[in-house]
Each structure stands twice: as structure tokens, then as C-alpha cells.
Amino acid sequence: MAVEIGAGAHDAWSVTSGGTDNSDWYADAIDPAGHPGRYLFDGRWRRYACRTETIAVYRQRAQNHRVCQGRHGPVYAASGDTALALRDAGAEAIDGTVAGFLAVDTAHSRAQFAATLPQFAGSFNFLYADQAGNIAYWQVGRVPVRARGDDPFLPHPGTGGDEWRGFLPWRAMPHVLNPARGWLANWNNKPEAGWPNSAYGFIDWGPVQRVQALTRQLAALRPHSVTAAALERINRITGQTAESPVGDEGNIAVHELLPRLLSRVNSAADPRLPAIVRLLSQWNGQRIDANGDGSYDSPAVAIWQRWYPTFINHAFAAELGTVARGTTDDTVLTDLAVRLLEGHAAALPLHDNYLRGERTGHAVTATLIQTLSALTTHYGTPSTGRWLLPDVYTYWGPLGLGTVSRTPWMNRGTYNQVIHLGRGSQLTGVNVVAPGESGQVGSPYFADQLRLYATWRYKPMRLTLRDLRGHVSSDIVLPVP
């Protein structure tokens, strides 16, 4: 068993899933009589390796599935003379990823830690710190080298003319050691400009990618002033920042988009607007229910949640169709909105006139007025004090036996740790994993951390043998094969 995120005697590390484009669909030409049976590669018919997988289903009849795999990976679908297979660089060498996590756990120095990383096949972002004051970042994983002009969005012909040309050498992978700014952050975002990620939006970059909620706070810190309590506060502020919409973890647009919208509002266009602009300008972007009454405390949350999709759809629905209709969580559209409001000053100015000649200020003002009228109807009153959005919750879905009560929605991982890398007794850490460490419903550790998690508290980590004394409830010794 490997510790994927943790701390050692001299260092600590964290991991997020990467988004590097390390897989491709292949359209194999198959013999229709075998379906799929055989596939054509380099002018010869090759046989798929096929087997029957029996899947036991609770209180139902077991299901049998035929699984076939060839040069381009497992076949996901077949029709006529074509089969779709997925070649995945991470899956092809998964043993390297398992061995890598085991090796990370036994590293005793930064050099040893770094030496373990080239064997990883899956795409991950590693963040590292040690007692010597080093901080480092690596993106790991096997990255296919594709032919020039390769189209990553379409299936590749599987007959042999569109194969990978090997893998990117380790020296070409993104890495940074001790950046001058003094901090590092990653929240599934791409590692550097121009890096070929597998998808846009959630795992890409841009002014509203969720990592900006972290970097904005880190950039404001005074150098050499950070404490464990400060990191806990950053985690909490980030987790409570209003998403668009609330409950969508990928799009945190309020700090980038709301001020730009407010700067374009013509407050003279409607008598309600001066007070609304003042309310939204004073709002810190947090969605908090401090009194526990089941609704967020500020009406700004409800106003923002209605204004955001109203403006997005007003600006982009005509060109982008159903993608932009309704309450949307599309990060690309929000990035476009930021650049639309920046105009010619945008780092990436838009080439399309999405507003079709309408003045930006008019569009912003009109959608805010439309929002206020809709909220007045929805809540049955023009009094903004009654415009309180109900709390959003996380509902924990059981993978097996046992149920867990809901918790307030927080945009954070279910495992959090904060480590202070002092020496001796100054090496301390806290963590929390929801709902608990055990997957056994009868275990006292099945859901014992849920309350800690829901109230932004942590438990101490036992990082040394001395720390463990008096805290061990049981020992399980695994036999050596």
C-alpha cells in the first residue's frame, strides 16, 4: 500500500491529477465476420486478445462481458467493419505508476524523490517541500509524441500509418525548483503555457480556472510570513468562494468577472441599481451560512448566481447555441466573458463581436435589470434581504454498505493536509479525510471525520513513533508472500 499524499521525516508532498493528453482513440479496421475478432495493421490481419469477464451483481444475475484488446488498447465499441479502441499511455504502464508511489514513500532526500518520478506513467502534478527550504513542482507521466499535424480531436486510423513516435523525454517535462515568488500551487490546471492538455476548461488554464482562487491569496502574502494557520485559512476561503453556479467545482469566476461587470453598469438606468451595485461591490465573494438557517447569509450570492448565466447567455447563446443556454458551468464561456469585458486591453482579444453591435455597458446593465426583476418574481418581494439562496450540499454516495449524512458544499478535496516542516518536535501536521479512513461500515473509523470536515477542522497527524504511543487501537501484520 502506498501513501500518495503525505509527509516523511524531512519532507512532504501533495499530488493532483494531471490533464496531459496521453490517450487517443483509434478506429481499427476489423473483419466483420469475427466482430471484432481480427483487425488490420500494417497490411496484416492480427487477432485481438479476447476474454470473458464475469461481473457479480448484488442480488441479481451475474453479467458476462466479452473484452477484446489489441495494439491500440481495449475495444469499447464495434459496428460493421470498424472498432473503436482507446490507447492510453498511463494504462499501458500502470505498473510504473504503482512502483513510483511506493518509491516516493521511501525517498530520503529531494534527489531521491526526484529520481522516483520518471517511472510514473499516469499524468500527475507533484508538489514537494523539505526541511532545507526547497519547494518543487513536477508534472509526471508518459506523454506520446505524435506526428506533425496530428488532430487530437478525431479518431486515428488504426491500420498503422498514425502511430505514436515514442514518448516525450523526461527532461522536457514541466518542472520548477524554488521559484523566486516563493510559493507553488496547482489545482488540476495545466503546468505551463502552451502545454497540450486533454481537455479545455476544468483542467486547462485562464482567468477563471479554479487554481486562481489559490494563487490570488498566495500572491498577497508577505514573504516569510506564512504559518500553518494561514494555509488553513487559504483552504477555507477558497472552499467557500462562490462558484458559478454554486456546487460546480471547476469554475470560480466571481473575483475576475464580477468587478468587470460592475464597472460597466449604468446605475442611472434603474432606481434599484445604485443599492445593488453597492451591495455587490461590498461582497467578498464568499457563500457562508454562519447562522445555520439553511440559506447563505448574503443576498449577493443569489444575485450573482442569477446574473452570471443571464449575462453569459445574452452574450454567447446566439453563436454557441445550446452550449450556453440555461445555467452554464462552462469555463471557456466565462473566460470569453472576461475578455469581452476587457475589450482591446485583453491579453487575448476576441475576434468575434459576440454582442452583435450592442454596447457592452448596455448588455451588462440590461442583464442586471433582468436579473433583479426575475429575483423579485421568484422571491415574491423586491426586498433584497429576502433574496437568500438555499445552501447547497454534498450528498455522499455509498460504494457499498453504509450511509453518510450530507455536508455543506465546500469546493475542496476530501483529503486535506497541512504540514509544518520543522525539525524534531517542530515537525507537525494536521489532516482530515472525509468521511473516514475505513471503508468498513462497522468500523469506528468509517465516518468519524465527517464532522471535522464539515466544520473546517483537522486532526493531528502522528508523524513519528513517539507520536503514535497511546494512539494505536489495533495492529494488522500482513504476511510476506
Higher model confidence: residue 332 or residue 117? 117
The model's pLDDT over 179-207, given as tens digits with 9 standing for 90+, comes to: 999 999 999 999 998 888 877 666 778 88
All three cell numbers of 215: 494563487
Q: What is the mean pLDDT of the chain?
A: 91
Distance CA 284, CA 267 (A): 21
Q: What is the mean pLDDT of residues 108-113?
A: 95
The fraction of the chain above a pLDDT of 70, given in percent, is: 96
Q: What are the start-end ranges of the E strands in 260-402?
A: 393-394
Please, what are the domains in the chain?
6-21+93-196 (3.60.20.10), 23-90 (2.30.120.10), 239-391 (1.10.1400.10), 400-468 (no CATH)
Q: Per-residue pLDDT tens for 312-359?
A: 999 988 877 645 444 445 778 888 899 999 987 777 788 888 998 999
Nearest to 393 by CA among 274, 260, 287, 261: 287
Give the count of beta carbons closer than 10 Å to the beta carbon of residue 202: 20
The pLDDT tens digits of the residues spanning 7-60 come to 998 999 999 999 899 999 999 999 887 767 899 999 999 999 999 999 998 889
What percent helix, strand, coil does the chain show, rounded to 5? 30, 20, 45
- Looking at residue 468, what is its pLDDT? 87
- Buried b / exposed e across 153-162, counting CB within 10 Å, b at 16+? eebbebbeeb
What single string gives the DSSP state of each residue in 281-315? HH--SB---TT-SSB-S-HHHHHHHHHHHHHHHHH
Taking residues 139-156, what's their average pLDDT? 91
Report how far apart, in Å, the C-alpha atoms of 325 and of each of 314, 328, 338 are: 9, 7, 18
- Asked if the model's pLDDT at residue 409 lies above 60, the reply is yes
Span 134-146, pLDDT tens digits = 999 999 999 999 9
Secondary structure class of 7 (helix, strand, coil):
strand
pTM above 0.75, yes or no: yes
Parallel/antiparallel/unpaired status of strands 124-130 and 82-88: unpaired
Q: CA-CA distance, 131 to 10, in Å (whole number)?
A: 6
pLDDT in tens, 222-261: 988 899 999 999 999 999 999 988 888 878 889 999 999 9
Record the cell numbers describing residue 457, joined without a space.
Answer: 477542522
